[in-house]
Amino acid sequence: MLTEEEFEEHRSKQNDDPFVCTKLEGIVCDSPADIEYDSSRPWVMDKPNIPKTPKGFQRVSVMRRDYSKMDVQYVTPDGTMVRSKPGIIAYLEEHPEYSDISPTDFCFTSPKVVRETIPEHIEKKSPCGSVKKQKKV
């Protein structure tokens, strides 16, 4: 993917039109990856079929300090940060110039953090919610 817009376009249609490496010109499926899957950086998995962000808005995913999850927020054209569906509804009601945009055009579903890629020095929460200190080897 070359741009954020191309990524959003693909993600919004992922179930209808799954990505395969042969769709990219000059790329074969045996080509080496641009980056290796390891714990040198946190990895997240985005959900499929998230609506493409309306023009003028920006969808931002922010990693929590403890790496437990990400929070999704939208930045509006006037710079307002909106953190929830009720916030989007209120914003759209207060700004009739966006009457062509629906609250369903926004999705606050966050990417899932891949636990195996969380840095070793971070305390990891177990699936049941308690904190488990990782030992350095």
Domain boundaries, the chain: 1-34, 50-116
Q: What is the pTM of this model?
A: 0.71
Q: Which two tokens stand for residue 68?
A: 């437990």
Percent of the chain topping pLDDT 90: 42
Give the burial class of 103: count Cβ atoms within 10 A of its Cβ; 0-12 exposed, 13-18 middle, 19 or more buried: middle
Size of the chain, expressed as the number of residues it contains: 137
DSSP category for residue 72: E
Q: Which two tokens stand for residue 112?
A: 């899932």
Average pLDDT, the chain: 83
At the second CATH level, the architecture of 50-116 is 2-Layer Sandwich (3.30)
CA-wise closest residue to 25 among 49, 2, 48:
2
pLDDT (tens digit, 9 = 90+) per residue, 9-60?
777 877 676 667 777 777 777 777 777 777 778 888 888 888 999 999 999 9
pLDDT band with cut points at 50, 70 and 90 for residue 134: very low
Q: Which two tokens stand for residue 45?
A: 């998995």
In this prediction, residues 86-113 reach a mean pLDDT of: 96
pLDDT (tens digit, 9 = 90+) per residue, 53-82?
999 999 999 999 988 899 999 999 999 999
